[in-house]
Amino acid sequence: MALQRPKGTNDLLPDGSPKLEAFARASAHEWLIGKARGVLERAGAQRIDTPVFEEAELVKRGVGGSTDIVRKEMFTVYYFGDHGGYVLRPEGTASIVRAYLENGLKQLPAPLKLWTSGPMFRAERHQKGRYRQFHQVDYEVLGSADPLVDAEAIALMVDVVRALGLRGVHVKLGSIGDPEDRERYNAYLRELFTPHEARLSDDSRERLARNPMRILDSKSAGDQELLQDIGVRPMLDFLGEEAGAHFAQVQDYLKDWGVGFEIDPSIVRGLDYYRRTAWELHAEGIGAKSALGGGGRYDGLSEGLGGGAVPGIGWAFGIERLLLAVEQEGIELPRAGGPQLYLVALDEENVPLAARLAAQARAYLRAEFAYRALKPGSAFKDAERRGAVWVGLIGSEEAAQGTLSLKNMQTGEQRTLAQSELGSLTPPNG
């Protein structure tokens, strides 16, 4: 059998490919990133790009040693004679904060808004909506702890979703407090779970020792059943005064701007560096993998990476997830158009002329040419298959007179055009 792509990865394919799903359409990815870029750049965000592999230590410190991502899902990169100290990035935030510290971006006016888009890698059990290489759009704001920045980040996420035309999307908002609040909550959870230790999954027994909050996030059905049985108080009950006031302000801003949200006390983001505001966006009807994206404040991250104190907040959308939701809502995706002008020579000696004229016409239009001479009937069939708008035939007569015989495949209109007048051709639908 021919070689196949690695499990859990997708080829992003051209339009018209057989059995093509939206999340694997290269043009759909481009479209989505373009919409997100529009929203984010109008709000003052600038593009940043970091390597797709990083020092393992950065990811370990940035994402947190007790997370599933670091413990089970890292792709390690080796090259000849290497120590294997690199990993493919599982998310964008740690890299962006590293780049901010390393390149002196602190000198730019704060808060600094950055965005990026690209592939992320996690060795997860793959299924629809969950891949080992997936793509994200990320937005990060560095240098401000103001709740106004939190509210704006959430509102921008909602703006992106709206720009895509999605309607059935909910914002679930929570707060995971400050580190001392979490310590109190973890102490409470440890006390609560210890008598039930025998019922916990192996993973959660380990979590009980390291970071009990993570048990709430467990994917194990047995753990979830136990949670139901014993009734756990939410993190929100444990917010300290400052984190509580911050959370209230974020909500006030969102209400003021008419950005809908619901409080979800169960939000426990899987990443260690989060502080205070945490949220997720969910879509109706795409099943268990309904999280389109999530974000949170991470004021402790910069110091964790060995930099000074730099408050930060950010979010990431999963592009494939968004495209699943777009498909689910029946939103029509723009398709790559066929040639606006398709030039066909009727005899072999005029093929180079068709090529030359197509090259000239590309100053104004999407123009292609047939690499072999065709008879008019075949030329029209070929043009139709390619989705061409205008077909320009060049026979010996047209070559001698410096003209083209044009036919509009959409309207049936036919006329003769001087080759020197190609610039006057304005196709319908741009």
**Residues near ligand AMP, by CB under 6 A:** 91, 122, 124, 130-131, 134, 136, 291-294, 316, 318, 320-321
CB neighbours (10 Å) of residue 119?
15
Tell the smallest beta-carbon distance from residue 324 to ligand AMP (Å). Answer: 9
Q: Which is nearer to ligand AMP, 134 or 390 (CB)?
A: 134
Q: Which is nearer to ligand AMP, 13 or 355 (CB)?
A: 13
Q: Which is nearer to ligand AMP, 131 or 185 (CB)?
A: 131
Cα separation, 153 vs 155, in Å, equals 5
Q: Which is nearer to ligand AMP, 200 or 271 (CB)?
A: 271
DSSP output for 37-87: HHHHHHTT-EE----SEEEHHHHHHHH-TTSHHHHH-PPEE--TT----EE
Place of tokens 């080829």: 11
Tell the smallest beta-carbon distance from residue 139 to ligand AMP (Å). Answer: 12
* Neighbour order of strands in the sheet with 133-142: 46-47, 112-121, 133-142, 312-318, 291-297, 275-283, 169-175, 262-263
In this structure, the chain runs to a length of: 430
DSSP output for 292-319: EEEEEE-TTHHHHTTS----EEEEEEEH
Place of tokens 């940043």: 48
Tell the smallest beta-carbon distance from residue 171 to ligand AMP (Å). Answer: 13
Cα–Cα distances in Å, from 428 out to 65, 108, 358, 389, 408?
57, 45, 18, 8, 10
CB 120 within 8 A of CB 325: no
Beta strand pairing call for 133-142 and 169-175: unpaired
Q: Which is nearer to ligand AMP, 21 or 124 (CB)?
A: 124
Q: Which is nearer to ligand AMP, 50 or 403 (CB)?
A: 50
Tokens of 319: 């592009």
CB 424 within 8 A of CB 375: no
Q: Which is nearer to ligand AMP, 157 or 215 (CB)?
A: 157
Tell the smallest beta-carbon distance from residue 356 to ligand AMP (Å). Answer: 46
Tell the smallest beta-carbon distance from residue 24 to ligand AMP (Å). Answer: 12
Sequence ranges of the binding site for L-histidine: 91-93, 122, 136, 140, 269, 273-274
Tell the smallest beta-carbon distance from residue 321 to ligand AMP (Å). Answer: 4
Which residue lies nearest ligand AMP, judged by its C-beta? Answer: 318
Q: Which is nearer to ligand AMP, 138 or 398 (CB)?
A: 138
Sequence ranges of the binding site: 91-93, 122, 136, 140, 269, 273-274
Tell the smallest beta-carbon distance from residue 327 to ligand AMP (Å). Answer: 15
Residue 374: which of 362, 363, 385 has the closest Cα?
385
Q: Is 240 helix (H, G, I), strand (E, B) or coil?
A: coil
CB neighbours (10 Å) of residue 8?
17
Tell the smallest beta-carbon distance from residue 128 to ligand AMP (Å). Answer: 10
